[in-house]
């Protein structure tokens, strides 16, 4: 299938990044959210990020202007119904995603491919609640979308070859690299990354090292660009906890048990950068460890 129009559900940090790269690649993009404020903020952020790309010579001003013109916004989910491809990028909660698909399905064209940007939830299970499990798959972008090169493509048990090949072609047109993952909890990246972050939090919880020493050790000792606790704050501690719970419940192995300290931070509402506090306090000029 030839994809020309793309509908994106959710204008948060993932949704606006996905809209950014699709518009630059020449697709007509319709971005949906439940709040006008979120849509306005997303378009403003896309402009700022593209401006930065122009400043660095990554794209031209003409390419930016053309891309911005290809993005439209809507508060009405049904407006996405005529898209060739729909990417759901809402909160990482299965009940919310299911409710979105339920509301969207009556308005979709029969040939529309339906995808989810979920980082951990079963694609087969999400697909089974729709009218097109063969045209449903996982389309998992990495954050920040305009910079990160990888896209995980996850086939559910019913996903057909045509749907997979179409999505593979889309990834190539975006100038990104696809990695095919089987539909098991957290797929590839988060199956490996999240237990590492969780173990770093256990290392803090058990007093083996401070926030600073743990992050410094991994940056200088393992050549990671960002320490695991700094990275957890960037991802969002609520998202980290949700993925650890999916791993723990889905694989029934105690090695995936979320650290109690991670749970405590989420209960406190200290979710990382987005709430200005997590393993670091971001309210001042420079981040300060909270432990």
Residue numbers in the known binding site for NAD(+) are 10-15, 33, 92, 97, 119, 143, 274
Half-sphere exposure of residue 257, counting CA atoms within 13 Å on the CB side?
A: 7
Residue with tokens 């529309």: 112
Whether 190 is catalytic:
yes
Whether 198 is catalytic:
no
Tell me, rounded to whole angstroms, the distance of Cα 117 from its chain centroid: 6
- Binding residues are 10-15, 33, 92, 97, 119, 143, 274
Distance in angstroms (rounded) separating the CA atoms of residues 249 and 251: 6
The catalytic residue among 20, 152, 198, 230 is 152
**Cβ(3)–Cβ(74) under 8 Å?**
no
Distance in angstroms (rounded) separating the CA atoms of residues 164 and 60: 32
The catalytic residue among 119, 120, 122, 198 is 119
Whether 182 is catalytic:
no
The catalytic residue among 38, 190, 198, 230 is 190
Taking CA 191 as the corner, what is the angle to CA 190 and CA 196, rounded to the nearest 5 degrees? 80
Whether 63 is catalytic:
no
Q: Which residues are catalytic?
A: 119, 140, 152, 190
């Amino acid at each position: 299938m030839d994809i020309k129009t793309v509908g994106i559900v959710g204008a948060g940090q993932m949704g606006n990044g996905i809209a950014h790269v699709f518009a630059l690649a020449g697709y007509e993009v319709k971005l949906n959210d439940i709040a006008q404020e979120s849509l306005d903020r997303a378009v403003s952020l896309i402009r700022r990020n593209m401006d930065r790309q122009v400043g660095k010579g990554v794209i031209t001003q003409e390419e930016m202007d053309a891309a911005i013109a290809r993005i439209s916004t809507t508060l009405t989910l049904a407006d996405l119904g005529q898209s060739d491809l729909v990417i759901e990028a809402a909160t990482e909660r299965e009940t919310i995603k299911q409710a979105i698909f339920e509301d969207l399905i009556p308005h979709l064209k029969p040939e529309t491919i339906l995808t989810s940007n979920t980082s951990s939830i079963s694609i087969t299970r999400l697909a089974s609640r729709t009218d097109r499990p063969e045209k449903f798959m996982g389309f998992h972008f990495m954050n920040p979308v305009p910079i990160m090169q990888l896209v995980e493509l996850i086939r559910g048990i019913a996903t057909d070859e045509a749907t997979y090949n179409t999505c593979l072609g889309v990834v190539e047109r975006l100038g990104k690299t696809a990695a095919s993952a089987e539909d098991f909890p957290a797929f590839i990246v988060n199956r490996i990354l999240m237990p590492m972050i969780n173990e770093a939090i256990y290392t803090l919880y058990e007093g083996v090292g401070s926030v600073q020493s743990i992050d410094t050790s991994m940056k200088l000792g393992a050549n990671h660009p960002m320490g695991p606790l700094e990275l957890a704050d960037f991802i969002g501690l609520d998202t980290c906890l949700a993925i650890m719970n999916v791993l723990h419940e889905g694989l029934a192995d105690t090695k995936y048990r979320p650290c109690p300290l991670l749970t405590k931070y989420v209960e406190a509402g200290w979710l990382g950068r987005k709430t200005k506090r997590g393993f670091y306090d971001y309210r001042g000029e420079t981040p300060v460890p909270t432990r």
